A and B are shown apart, each in its own frame.
Chain A
Amino acid sequence: MSRADLISLLPHLILALGAVLVMMVIAVRRNHFVIYVLTCLTLIIALYFLPETASLPHEVGVLFVVDGLGVFSTMLIMLAALAVTIMSYAYFETHEERTGEYYMLFILATFGASIMVISGHFVSFFLGLEILSVSLYGMIAYLRKRERSDEAGIKYLILAAFSSAFLLFGMALIYASTGDMTFQGLSGYFAAFDELPILVTAGLGMVVVGAGFKLSVVPFHMWTPDVYEGAPAPVAAFISTVSKGATMILLVRFFLAIDGFRFPVVLTIFTVISIASMVVGNILALRQQNVKRILAYSSIAHFGYLLVAFIAADDLGVEAVNFYLVAYFATMLGAFGVVTVLSDPERDAEQLDDYRGLLWRRPGLAAVFVVTLLSLAGIPLTAGFVAKFYILASGIGTNQWLLVILLVVNSVVGLFYYIRIVAVMFDSVREGEIRQTAYVGNFATLLILVLLLVWFGISPQGLIDVIRGLVNGS
């Protein structure tokens, strides 16, 4: 391993080191605050050592490709992880006595996700995915005393194991027909195909099943609402952002490498998945009374939208995917941040009733929630709008009118349930105690997230320049 290799992988190594360190600290003394600070420091130091753009792209062996896309998404993942860590502290301080292991699993999960986004090989792809999944099993079921916690954990465990098996089988099939597992090598083979051999099609299909499970796109979405409902709110935030985002970036990398959308069958598969996710996600969200489940279905729909830009697969499309992910991350973290703050030791604030009159009881928090909901709905002045605009632009730019029109129709359906939450919040004040578990860190995070949402909504050019520089610049 050369010096240059080391430098490019340094952030990831720091994460791995951080996980080990946390484990050792737990062995010596369980102190929630120390472990929390250690986790934050790990993430901050890792962020600090993200490679300079000047030395990109850099390939480390055959396993990793550290390029602009990789660095950008690693940064995104780590920032999101930092936000989730800060949320988690207040949450676990009141919920659970044994808190140390959570942070270890958390760093490992982040590590897995950040490995995924720089992988250029099936092996690193799979390892990253598994590190992420295995850590998540523990995190989802972390609050053992809760009724739904085990159910969510087991459900995720079984389905994730299944989907991993699919993924492996798919990789094996592709390997069997091409004899290569690097994305670069595969791109050569795929370029030679006029149409896909049946074995490769089957292999790709299985890879899509495996990745689709992680993205929770329809029809691989069954677990999502239950897991979101059962998992602690910060973990749900982590699943909906980091885990899904990393998988999306990986898919972008893989399908761009093999130029997958040249083949009608791949195009059809993703078009169908995209439409199904938008429609099913939005329609199922309509009748929910549980905010966490609404957010789950909403995230399903949002990945349907995101696939529109993914299918475009040109420069604009990749930009759109990245911009959308930034907006989506900030939005989801904000939304779950509010849920976290309002949760108490018995249960999370997940019923719509918990939010009744919030605008008058807690104007600040309600304002944050309103902004995130408007951003999810894609209303101007928020990042969500520019992101949706980006996706529409990439869709229309590649003439996918069917998808674009369905996207618009679905946005309207989506409005119903976002606005319903807003309406509940400005209902007349309900008597009763204000429940909350929050520290300064929570509010600072929420404030920053909201400012970002509004800032990217009003003046997105800065972010666009960064994305263009990193993603398409090379």
Chain B
Amino acid sequence: MTLIAFIGTLMAGGIVAWITARWSETLSRWIALTTVLIDLVWSVVILINNRPDFSATDWLIRFDYPWIGRFGIGISVAADGLSLILLILTFFLGAASVIVSWREIRQRVGFFHFNLLWVLAGIAGVFVVMDLFLFYFFWEVMLIPMYFLIGIWGHENRRYAAMKFFIFTQASGLMMLLSILGLYFIHGNNTGTYTFDYFELLTATFGDTAGRWLMLGFLAAFIVKLPVVPFHSWLPDAHSQAPTAGSVILAGLLLKTGAYGILRFVLPLFPDAAREFSNVAMILGVVGIIYGALLAYGQTDLKRLVAYTSVSHMGFVMLGIFSFNELAFQGVVMQLVAHGLSTGALFVIAGALYERIHTRDLSLMGGFWSGTPFMGFITLVFVMASLGLPGLVNFVAEFLILNGAWQTSHVLAVIGAIGLVLAMAYSLRIMRKIFFGPVADIGVGMRDLTLCEKVVLVPMTLLVIFLGLFPQHVFNASEKSVKDILAMVNSNNKP
């Protein structure tokens, strides 16, 4: 019930924020912020209450209620350590996006917050539902408001970017829907129980060919979202055209739903097919790491650059997931958190720069350090995080993933590690282009970070450092989930 309340609070908050904007835009902002903060505090309390032993029960919270009986669809939600970590990340970045929009979004404030909170509701839903129909439902719920966020409040080429984002994700989502239905009927015909319940479908049995096709359907949705090269082309457009809050949510959260989907659904439901596919998937991951990094280096648009670094970082996720060992899985979970924080923060900085100088073109920037040392310092931290500096959270994640991948394939782990070198190149380029070199004209008299921006960026900085030094907190929470998933990968679903 708590989990339903999380989602319900966000949805209700969104509607209230929309309505109140008629009278006061500030009130609307405060309502949106309060709503997200309530969820954030609440989820952190749950996390703390369950510390230090997360393995006592299978699911920390679970709730089932029948919904559409005709098809065996239920409102079934559950959270384990993995879900909880991602939920907290969702609410944290959600609160951050409300705050960074405080000054940026001036038009149609009510509708903006409605969309923002509904995206968050959709994402939170995706992380907790245990009914495949409902999963698809939330998968789509996060799509439409995101489309509006990009399409209405985005930059100059927003229409194209929004449409591209929508078509890519919708098309791949429909593939997943087909697979969900296929699974439903196969299981129903075998056992006589027609249901979309995740726990029931875990016991489904089917032949190799059927398994392969069904898995590909699911995978289509997830690797487009993640994204895996060559299905990434929507991402640079969507990320660079979205308003700051939209970019933060896209990079920080939406991409994570893809990784979560693979971990929660693809591996446990289709272990045989997933094992078969693992080589291809790992190669795709490595290709993503290198390709994303190379393209990031070549960008002149700051937001596009950060977008391509996402492609590279998500390549690590793909590599880690299909390495099938605990080390890599822990690394993946860490990478989800790390990337959410560091990339989210970089987008906030890109947004702050854009607000001041109205361009994202790196070649026009330079020498900003002297005018805005605080911004420079914060950027430095996140750039270092992005390139994998030890002591910051991204290093822990990427180190574990490469370690885990090494056990599965030496070659791929080595090539993946080259990605770290490239990350160094593109990350340092960001610093050099923006903050060093000759002072650009447009930067003269630029304000340093405002209070709003500090409120967002300082906690993110602290978290990146804290989790980099004490990653065990995350590992404790996710250990049980990771082990469970690993156990399911090593089972099989032959009839």
Which residue numbers of A lie inside 8 Å of B, CB to CB? 360, 374, 379-381, 385, 389, 392-393, 396-397, 404-405, 408, 411-412, 415-416, 419-420, 423, 426, 459-461, 464-465, 468
* Given the contacts A392-B181, A419-B166, A379 and B175 also touching, CB distance less than 8 Å: no
Contact flags B143-173 to A (C-beta < 8 A → 1, else 0): 1100110011000000100110011001100
Pick from B68-76, B320-328, B440-448 the stretch touching chain A: B68-76
Is the beta-carbon distance between B68 and A392 smaller than 8 angstroms?
A: no
User: With the chains together, A393 CA to B152 CA distance in Å?
Assistant: 35
What residue of chain B has the Cβ atom nearest to residue A396's Cβ?
B181
Chain B contributes a number of interface residues (CB within 8 A of A) equal to 32
Q: Is B277 an interface residue (CB 8 A)?
A: no
User: With the chains together, A468 CA to B69 CA distance in Å?
Assistant: 12
Is the beta-carbon distance between A426 and B178 smaller than 8 angstroms?
A: no
Is the beta-carbon distance between A396 and B163 smaller than 8 angstroms?
A: no
Chain A positions within 8 Å of B144 at CB level: 374, 379
A232 to chain B, nearest CB (A): 32
Q: Is B177 an interface residue (CB 8 A)?
A: yes
User: With the chains together, A389 CA to B180 CA distance in Å?
Assistant: 11
Is the beta-carbon distance between A408 and B71 smaller than 8 angstroms?
A: no
Is the beta-carbon distance between A419 and B163 smaller than 8 angstroms?
A: yes
* Given the contacts A380-B140, A415-B166, A461-B70, A405 and B148 also touching, CB distance less than 8 Å: no
In order of increasing CB-CB distance, the 8 nearest A-B pairs are A380-B140, A412-B171, A408-B174, A464-B70, A396-B181, A380-B137, A461-B68, A426-B152
A358 to chain B, nearest CB (A): 13
User: With the chains together, A464 CA to B163 CA distance in Å?
Assistant: 33
* Given the contacts A380-B141, A393-B71, A461-B69, A416 and B167 also touching, CB distance less than 8 Å: yes
- Residue from the list B69, B136, B140, B185 in contact with A396, Cβ < 8 A: B185
Main secondary structure of the interface of B (DSSP, over half): helix
What residue of chain A has the Cβ atom nearest to residue B213's Cβ?
A401
Q: Is B67 an interface residue (CB 8 A)?
A: yes
Known: A380-B141, A415-B166. 17 other contacts (CB 8 A): A380-B136, A380-B137, A381-B141, A389-B133, A389-B177, A393-B181, A393-B184, A396-B185, A415-B167, A416-B167, A420-B163, A459-B67, A460-B68, A461-B69, A464-B70, A465-B70, A468-B70
User: With the chains together, A405 CA to B162 CA distance in Å?
Assistant: 25
Which residue numbers of B lie inside 8 Å of A, CB to CB? 67-71, 108, 133, 136-137, 140-141, 143-144, 147-148, 151-152, 159, 162-163, 166-167, 170-171, 174-175, 177-178, 181-182, 184-185
Chain B positions within 8 Å of A461 at CB level: 67-70
Is the beta-carbon distance between A396 and B68 smaller than 8 angstroms?
A: no
What residue of chain A has the Cβ atom nearest to residue B107's Cβ?
A360
- Residue from the list B69, B108, B170, B181 in contact with A415, Cβ < 8 A: B170
Chain B positions within 8 Å of A379 at CB level: 140, 143-144
A326 to chain B, nearest CB (A): 14
Is the beta-carbon distance between A426 and B171 smaller than 8 angstroms?
A: no
Is the beta-carbon distance between A408 and B178 smaller than 8 angstroms?
A: yes
User: With the chains together, A397 CA to B136 CA distance in Å?
Assistant: 19
Q: Which of A389, A415, A420 has its CB near the most chain B CB atoms (within 10 A)?
A: A389
User: With the chains together, A416 CA to B143 CA distance in Å?
Assistant: 15
- Residue from the list A392, A416, A420, A423 in contact with B178, Cβ < 8 A: A392
Is the beta-carbon distance between B70 and A397 smaller than 8 angstroms?
A: no
B71 to chain A, nearest CB (A): 7
Chain B positions within 8 Å of A415 at CB level: 166-167, 170
A-B contact pairs, 22 of them (CB 8 A): A374-B144, A379-B143, A379-B144, A380-B137, A380-B141, A393-B181, A393-B185, A396-B182, A397-B185, A408-B175, A408-B178, A411-B170, A412-B167, A412-B170, A412-B171, A412-B174, A416-B167, A419-B166, A419-B167, A426-B152, A461-B67, A468-B70
Chain B positions within 8 Å of A392 at CB level: 177-178, 181
